[in-house]
Amino acid sequence: MEPQDATQAEPSTRGRILARFGEWLDEALAREASPPGIAAEILAEVEEGASAEPETDLHALRAAMLALSQEIGLQGRTFHQLKDALAPVGELGPRVEAALEAHERGLVEMRRVGDQAREEREAWQREAVREASRLAWKKVLDLLLDMRDRLGRGIETASSAIAARPERPPLGWWDRFLGRRDEPAPQPAEALVEGCRLALARLDDALVEIGVGEIPCEGRMFDPQTMKAIELGEAAGVADGRVIEVRRRGYEWRGELYRPAEVKVARGGGA
């Protein structure tokens, strides 16, 4: 029996072969994904050049490959030269970082010193304001306390003079015959003393309002922190060390000693 010619193959077998060849051809001609990193404009130019189907020139292709290899070698040598040139910079990296860290530490220290100086200046300014205010108040208080001492001494002196004034003798028969009456004469001294007492009370109220208080001394034990002994004396029934007389009043201002009291202290002869 003679072999069957390929042209005389069954139609079904031929169709399968053609179908498989067509599938393979479709896969071979399928569009591949664009390589990463290549711009779309370059790919478009390549596709346009491929569609033009230029004639293949092996000599031109060989010359282009030779030029490309030379360019690659030149770029390699340039890269190595650049690497050698930058090598010292890489060695300086740790030094530069250390210098930057030292600079940053210096800036931090400068800011700290600046903040501390500003706080000290503000504290000094506050203290200067307080000191100026205290000095101004001291002048006012000295003036008020001196006025209070003068008023007190004046009242005591006037009161003593009034108490020592002789009494007015009674009217005789001749005065009664003439129609004179025994009327009390006006007493301007008492009125003046009373006015001074009112002024002194108002002054004491003003001192209390600004924080000034008198130090209690008479009848108390001597306190060297708030009192100054200017005289020692004997007093019957008074124990040693007790204040028997206040010669000059002492005062506190805002909880602190402003002026110590000058007192006379008992010594000996006490009960």
CB-CB neighbours of 53 under 10 Å = 7
Judge whether residue 25 has pLDDT over 90.
Answer: no
Q: What is the pLDDT of residue 263?
A: 93
- Is the pLDDT higher at 43 or at 211? 211
- Mind listing the pLDDT tens digit for each residue in 74-93? 888 887 787 777 766 666 66
Judge whether residue 52 has pLDDT over 90.
Answer: no
* Mean pLDDT of the chain, nearest integer: 78
Q: What is the pLDDT of residue 257?
A: 92
Judge whether residue 95 has pLDDT over 90.
Answer: no
Most confident of 42-51, 81-90, 113-122: 113-122
Q: What is the pLDDT of residue 217?
A: 92
Q: List Cβ neighbours of 93 (8 Å cut-off, separation of 6 or more).
A: none
- Mind listing the pLDDT tens digit for each residue in 220-236? 999 999 999 998 988 88
- Mind listing the pLDDT tens digit for each residue in 159-178? 887 777 666 555 555 555 55
Q: What is the pLDDT of residue 170?
A: 59
Q: In this structure, what DSSP letter does residue 231 have?
A: E
- What's the topology of domain 212-271? Nucleotide Exchange Factor Grpe; Chain A, domain 2 (2.30.22)
- Are the C-beta atoms of residues 197 and 158 closer than 8 Å to each other? no
Structure tokens at 47: 């596709």
Q: Sketch the domain layout of the chain as residue ranges.
A: 212-271
Q: What is the pLDDT of residue 3?
A: 46
- Are the C-beta atoms of residues 252 and 270 closer than 8 Å to each other? no
Q: What is the pLDDT of residue 35?
A: 62
Q: What is the pLDDT of residue 6?
A: 47
Tokens 């390549």 -> residue: 46
Among 221, 214, 220, residue whose Cα is nearest residue 260: 214
Judge whether residue 186 has pLDDT over 90.
Answer: no
Q: What is the pLDDT of residue 226?
A: 93
Q: What is the pLDDT of residue 78?
A: 84
- Mind listing the pLDDT tens digit for each residue in 123-151? 989 999 888 888 888 898 999 999 898 88
Secondary-structure breakdown of the chain: helix, strand, coil percentages, each rounded to the nearest 5: 60, 10, 25
Judge whether residue 1 has pLDDT over 60.
Answer: no
pTM above 0.75, yes or no: no
